[in-house]
Amino acid sequence: MTAERVYNVLFLCTGNSARSILAEVLIEHWSKGRFHGYSAGSFPKGAVHALALEELERHHLPTTGLRSKSWNEFARSGAPVMDFVFTVCDQAGDEACPVWPGNPVTAHWGVADPAAVDGTGAEQQKAFRACLSCARKPHQDFCRLAGRQSRSAGNQAQGR
């Protein structure tokens, strides 16, 4: 039996403190090992937003090792080669992105920025919950599609 290939997915946002971090964790969770998630920002905040971590923990999702980082880390020689690159905020979608080695598939999955919400603590928490909820469906759909594609390719390779 041959092990299935694990695909690398990079989620980009301006600050890399909330949406892209949530996306990185969700893709790993929903893909069940078929994808390795990464995240980065064009102007990283330098820290993951506390409410992003709180929301992930509330859903029993891992937070260990998450950090806010520049997209330059993934454009350097020796960086993991990305198969997919998604922008998850409007600013990153409009910015000139680095050239990604390996010619990855790119797309935009826009999500409102929960870190930009000014309001009470309850209003901010509500924004992070809404962000995670909004991001869930495209991640699940992408993982299902990739699973079907992978099984189809495997069946073709085996002559089925």
DSSP string for residues in the chain: -PPPPPEEEEEEESS-SSHHHHHHHHHHHHHTTSEEEEEEESS--SS--HHHHHHHHHTT---TT----BGGGGTSTTSPPPSEEEE-SHHHHHSPPPPPTT--EEEE-----GGG--S-HHHHHHHHHHHHHHHHHHHHHHHHHHHHHHHHHHHHHTT-
Residues catalogued as catalytic: 13, 89, 97
